[in-house]
């Protein structure tokens, strides 16, 4: 991964996987979730306890917000060899590890398929299409 003079990140195309690396991506997301949610700050009380003793605004926010997943997406970009678009970020966030892994993996796979289709289509040389 290098930054060119225009400030854009470029990736080594020779390192791009030939097929979607689902297992690696799921493992990366699971590990990140476990590390990110293991802090005391992210440990929350059960909804029943909040109703009984009261809660705070933090009790209604998602465990992981969309903005918080940016670092793990940057890791995955290096694995894939291309930049993921901002639209990949979901609105809101996630409260469940399995839903997070499943949703983000499927979003990344859709981008991988779209990107692979674009990169496989080679531009035609001018003047070679004579019909």
Give per-residue pLDDT as tens, 33-42: 999 988 755 6
Report the alpha-carbon distance of residue 15 to residue 94 in Å, rounded. Answer: 31
pLDDT at 122 over 60: no
Task: Please state the pTM of the whole predicted model.
Answer: 0.71
Measured CA to CA, the distance from residue 26 to residue 32 in angstroms comes to 10
Closest of 108, 119, 122 to residue 78, by C-alpha: 108
Quick check: 76 pLDDT over 90? yes
Residue 8 — left, alpha, or beta (φ > 0 → left; ψ -120 to 50 → alpha)? beta
Q: Residue 88 in contact with residue 111, Cβ under 8 Å?
A: yes
Domain boundaries, the chain: 22-120
């Amino acid at each position: 991964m290098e930054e060119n003079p225009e400030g854009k990140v470029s990736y080594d195309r020779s390192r791009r996987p030939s097929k979607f690396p689902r297992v690696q991506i799921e493992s990366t997301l699971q590990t990140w979730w476990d590390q990110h949610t293991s802090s005391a700050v992210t440990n929350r009380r059960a909804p029943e306890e909040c109703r009984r003793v009261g809660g705070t605004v933090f009790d209604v926010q998602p465990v992981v917000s969309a903005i918080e997943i940016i670092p793990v997406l940057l890791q995955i970009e290096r694995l894939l060899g291309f930049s993921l678009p901002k639209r990949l970020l979901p609105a809101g966030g996630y409260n469940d590890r399995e839903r997070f892994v499943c949703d983000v993996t499927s979003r990344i796979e859709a981008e991988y398929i779209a990107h692979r289709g674009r990169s496989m289509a080679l531009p035609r040389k001018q003047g070679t299409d004579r019909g």
